[in-house]
Chain A
Amino acid sequence: MFDYELIVIGAGPAGLAAALAAHEKGVRRILILERDNQAGGILNQCIHNGFGLHFFKEELTGPEYAGRFVAMLAGTTIEVRTDTMVLELEQNRTVHTVSPLRGYERITAGAVVLAMGCRERTRGAISIPGARCSGIFTAGAAQRFMNIEGYMVGKRVVILGSGDIGLIMARRMTLEGAKVLACVELMPYSGGLNRNIVQCLHDFDIPLYLSHTVTDVVGKDRLERVVVSKVDENRRPIPGTEMVFDCDTLLLSVGLLPENELSRQAGVQIDPRTNGPVVWENCETSIPGVFACGNVLHVHDLVDYVTAESQRAGRAAADFIQGRLPQGQEIRLENGSGVGYTVPQHFHRDTDKLEIFFRVRAIYHNAAIRVMDGDTQLARFRREHMAPGEMENITLPKVLLDRAQHDTLRVEIEEAAQ
């Protein structure tokens, strides 16, 4: 007898949706473990709007989106333990936790959903040269300081990286009275959504320097200035192109990494392309009964997609607990030209339908996504526009899957004829 039928690690949007979906399928003894002092995860600090257009069909702020899921917990038997840190997950689904209220505990579960989210890449991860002064923050850390703790982190700001959090912080700091001097992006295109470029940079006349990077950081105690240089097509700084910005704050929005310390320690197989677990179509990892969803699985652009994926994981965990296991031989998914990764990485042949999520490696116009079964084209989906910053998804119905002859299908991009 397990202590709980289902343990969910993380009470962000992924964990909440997974727990609620499992509850809807009749699982009753559910425990969510959260290390912060409240449920909601990163949405609590994402006070801007634009969430929920797909799922709720209206535009909500992050706290409102999280609040709706927290409200749905009322009337369920789902238990949420906040201020609770998970120290270890074992293969047999024993979870070790520690909290101020309950001390150290070992809790066993019939199934586990991993929903730990992701972390920001830091200055160390991208090796920015220069002084080690204060005033350098990841964009998400600055967002937490401002929106939760109520501290203004600086007055003259340069942002490195054009990911969405960086763009959102450019607007946020400007509205609070800071001067954002520039947003600097290493790649020749932005990593953020177009709407954020317009609403967060253009609205406030903040210049975006594409194919540029920070090449020096100067400051004794506090940051005093940064040097920005243009880069060549191999992303190497070009001497003689230096621009100097006098600023007291540098925000980094240079990518997110799924947080899989617990998964790795438990022996969950990790895909080096996503930095998340290798999963089946039902979000089950390489350890039976352990599922993964949300940003711990792969980094998403929209919380709505996190919710949809997490509901699948929660329902699959319920199936596992109730003894309904997926059937059919394994078919692997391989990424062909232009495709960076796929989730899932493999699936059971007898699945009802297969949804595949992936990112392309470059910007494409009037291209197509092809699913190849050896040399045979199984399906083709036209796309007017694809970019690495926007997750793609395709759905293969059962009738198509039944036609597969090989044990590997390949997803690839067919470029438009010149």
Chain B
Amino acid sequence: MKELICITCPKGCHLKVDEQTFAVTGNACPRGAAYGANELRNPVRVVTSTVVVTGSEIRRLPVKTDRPIPKGKMFAVMEEIARVRVTGPVRVGDVLIANVAGTEGNVVATKNLP
């Protein structure tokens, strides 16, 4: 049994999830069951960070993955982000790394850079 705190709503139910059957107990609603099962099968997260800006007084540009990526790939994504250098202009949503770390997600800008 894996114990989790549900993050679907502020109530924060303490879930117990069976590692074989993905059956969830301790949830007060169906959304908790779905979260608990998914969290064990394939936990995903959006990664946010910054990239280095060159040739500007602005030093860093904030970025994110444009979809949740597998939790286990977070550090691989960070390594690719650390290698990026950008110069303006960049618009919100511009792709800076496509298919980052083989996740099919892209790293996109979250702020305009003049």
Contacts A150-B50, A176-B78; is A385 near B5 (CB within 8 Å)? no
Is the contact region of chain A dominated by helix, strand, or loop, or is it mixed? helix
**Chain B residues positioned under 8 Å from A59 (CB to CB):** 46
Decide: A64 and B5 in contact? CB cutoff 8 A. Answer: no
**Chain A residues positioned under 8 Å from B52 (CB to CB):** 150
Decide: A67 and B46 in contact? CB cutoff 8 A. Answer: no
Contacts A61-B64, A61-B110; is A203 near B92 (CB within 8 Å)? no
Among listed A117-125, A192-200, A221-229, A395-403, interface-contacting one: A192-200
Contacts A148-B59, A175-B75; is A61 near B48 (CB within 8 Å)? yes
**Chain B residues positioned under 8 Å from A414 (CB to CB):** none
Within residues 19 to 69 of chain A, which ones have a CB less than 8 A from any CB in chain B? 44, 47-49, 59, 61-64, 67
**Chain B residues positioned under 8 Å from A150 (CB to CB):** 50, 52, 59-60
Decide: A203 and B71 in contact? CB cutoff 8 A. Answer: yes
Decide: A199 and B64 in contact? CB cutoff 8 A. Answer: no
Number of interface residues of A (CB under 8 A): 29
Decide: B62 and A147 in contact? CB cutoff 8 A. Answer: yes
Is the contact region of chain B dominated by helix, strand, or loop, or is it mixed? mixed
- For residue B12, CB closer than 8 A to chain A, the reply is yes
Decide: A194 and B10 in contact? CB cutoff 8 A. Answer: yes
Decide: B7 and A64 in contact? CB cutoff 8 A. Answer: no
Q: How far is the CB of B86 from chain A (nearest CB, A)?
A: 13
Q: How far is the CB of A52 from chain B (nearest CB, A)?
A: 12
**Chain A residues positioned under 8 Å from B48 (CB to CB):** 47-49, 61
**Chain B residues positioned under 8 Å from A67 (CB to CB):** 92, 110-112
Q: How large is the interface on B (under 10, 10 to 19, 20 to 34, 35 or more residues)?
A: 20 to 34
Decide: A175 and B49 in contact? CB cutoff 8 A. Answer: yes
**Chain A residues positioned under 8 Å from B33 (CB to CB):** none
Which chain A residue has the least Cβ–Cβ distance from B47? A175
**Chain A residues positioned under 8 Å from B90 (CB to CB):** none
Decide: B59 and A149 in contact? CB cutoff 8 A. Answer: yes
Decide: B110 and A63 in contact? CB cutoff 8 A. Answer: yes
Within residues 57 to 102 of chain B, which ones have a CB less than 8 A from any CB in chain A? 59-60, 62-64, 71, 74-75, 78, 92
Decide: B5 and A202 in contact? CB cutoff 8 A. Answer: yes
- For residue A352, CB closer than 8 A to chain B, the reply is no
| Of the residues B4, B10, B111, contact of A193 by C-beta under 8 Å | B10
| Of the residues A63, A149, A194, contact of B7 by C-beta under 8 Å | A194
| Of the residues B28, B64, B74, contact of A49 by C-beta under 8 Å | B64
Decide: B60 and A385 in contact? CB cutoff 8 A. Answer: no
- For residue A390, CB closer than 8 A to chain B, the reply is yes
**Chain A residues positioned under 8 Å from B74 (CB to CB):** 175
- For residue B31, CB closer than 8 A to chain A, the reply is no
Decide: B10 and A147 in contact? CB cutoff 8 A. Answer: no
Decide: B111 and A64 in contact? CB cutoff 8 A. Answer: yes
Which chain B residue has the least Cβ–Cβ distance from A190? B12
| Of the residues B5, B45, B49, B75, contact of A47 by C-beta under 8 Å | B49
Bound CA span A70–B62, Å: 16
**Chain B residues positioned under 8 Å from A44 (CB to CB):** 111
Decide: B10 and A199 in contact? CB cutoff 8 A. Answer: no
The 6 sampled A-B contact pairs (Cβ below 8 Å) are A49-B46, A49-B48, A64-B92, A175-B49, A176-B49, A197-B5
Q: A61-B48, A150-B59 provided; 20 other pairs, C-beta below 8 A?
A: A48-B48, A49-B64, A61-B64, A63-B62, A63-B110, A64-B110, A64-B111, A67-B112, A146-B50, A148-B60, A149-B60, A150-B60, A175-B47, A175-B74, A175-B75, A176-B49, A194-B5, A198-B4, A384-B28, A385-B10
- A-to-B contact residues, CB < 8 Å: 44, 47-49, 59, 61-64, 67, 146-150, 175-176, 193-195, 197-199, 202-203, 384-385, 387, 390
